[in-house]
Amino acid sequence: MKRTRVIVVGGGIAAMAASLSLANEGVPAIWIAPEGFAKAKPGESLAPAAVPLLRALGLDAILETPMHRKVEVLFSSWGANSLIEKNQTGCAGNLGYVINRTEFEFRLSEEVAKRPAIDRCVDAVASVQRLDKAWHVTTCAGLEFTADFLIDGSGRHMIVGRQYATLSRQDKLVAAYDFLEQENNEVDPTPATLVEAVPNGWWYAALLEDKRLAINYCSDPDLMPRGLGHDVEAWKTLIGESRYIVRWLESAGFAIDNPPSLTSAGTTFLSTPTGPGWIAIGDAAAAFDPLSSHGMTSALWTGVEGAKAAAKSLSGSPDSINQYQERVVSGISRYMSDRRRIYGREHRFTEHAFWRRRQAYAD
């Protein structure tokens, strides 16, 4: 059994940000997570607010690699049939970045590996228990670790939060996603991001720097075509029912060769994202609707600030935990207000179930 000051659980951005922040604070930790960079994951929009967070971690140059690009133009069909353009020229600040999520997370993991204060355990967590004011973690391979403090970055699994706090689930939103390759390389696709509302949900698409098109469709499970994750023809039909997404695919020659992958995208959060000796970060604290475009930024922020709070708590400042909790709860409140406002802008499809459910946010 190996003992350390802090155990960080989870393989995502929040857990890696927390590990880096702990290293910067000089706090030894064990990061437990399975290897997780083989499959491309959705999440391509990185908000401008993420840049100072990366800078605080000493990762100023991570967005300068050829795999990422600055957002130059955004198109949206939301609340009107017309397509509205927002471009870099008309904005005072930048519009954020379109990133290669797999490359971004891989680079973060490389940075963690450079920190001697952080030990990496490549495995999944089997059980977590708090006994005698210490955390006891066992991995699927039977390895055992103990620590004074635990940072839960396990994503929507919330392995600690589900045991010690109440989970609030606001909706059951699901995302169907795919990464499309061009069949016709003679066409130079527009480096843009597009959001389109449709009767049973909404679409998001963004051209990655490697010329693949990331495409996502968000709806409720009961409104998704049955068997969509195994039916490429149903996926093609669904895309064909859009107004602008299908035009982009057809004009630029993107091929739809496989059915989409499916993932949970609903809004969930813990009533209290902290407790004695633990803090939840990233989606383990609060998972937001991807329409907010703040998922990765929130993961970075909670990872950095959660680790700082843990370090201060271990140094004899317990108020740091309460302060972190107050800031997370305040952020959730702002997000809920923004979600009501954004969904409230769409009035064309109010007779459809998806939008009737979202209209309830405003009630």
The residues facing 144 across adjacent strands are: 138
- The amino acid at residue 312 is K
* 246: CB partners within 8 A, 6+ apart: 239, 240
- DSSP code of residue 208: -
44 pLDDT band (50/70/90 cuts)? confident
> Which pLDDT score is estimated for 36?
73
Q: Which two tokens stand for residue 129?
A: 């228990």
| pLDDT tens, position by position, 105-145 | 999 999 999 999 999 999 999 999 999 889 999 999 999 99
Alpha-carbon span 277 to 63, nearest angstrom: 34
Instruction: Calculate the average pLDDT of the chain.
Output: 92
Is residue 88 scored above 90 in pLDDT?
Answer: no
> Which pLDDT score is estimated for 1?
77
The residues facing 89 across adjacent strands are: none
Whose tokens are 């290293």? That residue is 23
Number of H helices, E strands in the chain: 9, 21
> Which pLDDT score is estimated for 92?
46
Q: What is the mean pLDDT of residues 53-71?
A: 90
Whose tokens are 């066409």? That residue is 187
DSSP code per residue over 248-280? HHHHHTB---SPPEEEE---EEES-SEETTEEE
Classify strands 29-33 and 73-77 as parallel, antiparallel or unpaired.
unpaired
Radius of gyration of the chain (CA): 21
| pLDDT tens, position by position, 198-221 | 999 999 999 999 999 999 999 999
Beta strands in 34-190 (DSSP E): 45-46, 69-70, 73-77, 84-87, 97-98, 118-122, 125-131, 134-139, 144-152, 167-169, 174-180
- DSSP code of residue 187: S
- DSSP code of residue 329: H
Is residue 282 scored above 70 in pLDDT?
Answer: yes
Is residue 313 scored above 80 in pLDDT?
Answer: yes
* 22: nearest Cα among 36, 34, 7: 7
